[in-house]
Amino acid sequence: MSSAANTQVDEFEDEAPGLWTSFATALRLIVGWFCLAIGVLNLLVEVDRNIGDPPDTAYFFFHVMLIVGGITLLAVSWLGRSPGLSGYLTGGLVLVAGMVVSGVPVSSSVCCMTALDIRHGWPFTFVARDEGVGAAAGWHIDSQHLLADLLFWGYVGLIALVIVALIGRAGSPEPDPAGAEPASAPPTHAEHRALATEAVDDPAEPRPGAQ
């Protein structure tokens, strides 16, 4: 009974990495296609937002990044190798730096939370407050726009990760298998017999005891 249970555990452990890899791949493809479709549709439907007065350039750049990020997610398997620690660190630092650099200054973006005086966040305002005292002066956070900004700068970090991975792959070229010399196989028993026969039948080689 215990041996059967151990066999089932071993099979589960062998299949688990493959299951997780398949799940991650499916999730990556779903998110990539979803972002690509949303970016294209929103730009086509609301293209006038970028030519208004004032133009909503943040909305335009956000959806352009959705398209670029979606394509990157769909094609990231083309790298064929892990980006390594340097790639993951670069992507994470770009994400954090983008949120901090865009969130600290006061935003003049057309969107969003325009009813409040002091707004922060780009491409979308996700935190704002009114000047003055009292409850109106407290900070207000828009969770949806916060997630949208995280997605935007996450895609910027993903692009930086891919660039680092490409640089690493270019710096360490893989050996060309076509240029490698094939290893010589050891002589077989039949080859040993053929060599021995040639040595006996060769008239140029004197036999033992010949004068």
Within a domain: 13: no
Within a domain: 17: no
Instruction: Using a cut of 0.75, tell me whether the model's pTM lies above it.
Output: no
- Mean local confidence (pLDDT), 107-119: 80
Within a domain: 150: yes
Q: Which two tokens stand for residue 31?
A: 């998110």
State the total domains in the chain.
Answer: 1
Tell me how far apart the alpha carbons of residues 71 and 75 are, in angstroms, rounded to a whole number.
6
Percent of the chain scored above 70 by pLDDT?
67
Within a domain: 54: yes
- Higher pLDDT: 210 or 106? It is 106
Q: Which of 15-24, 52-61, 84-93 has the highest mean pLDDT?
A: 84-93
Within a domain: 201: no
Within a domain: 166: yes
Within a domain: 9: no
Domain that holds residue 94: 28-170
Within a domain: 137: yes
| Nearest alpha carbon to residue 61 among 109, 118, 101 | 109
Burial degree of 184 (CB within 10 A; 0-12, 13-18, 19+): exposed
Q: What is the pLDDT of residues 152-211, one digit of tens each?
A: 999 999 999 999 888 887 766 554 545 444 445 555 555 555 555 555 454 555 555 544
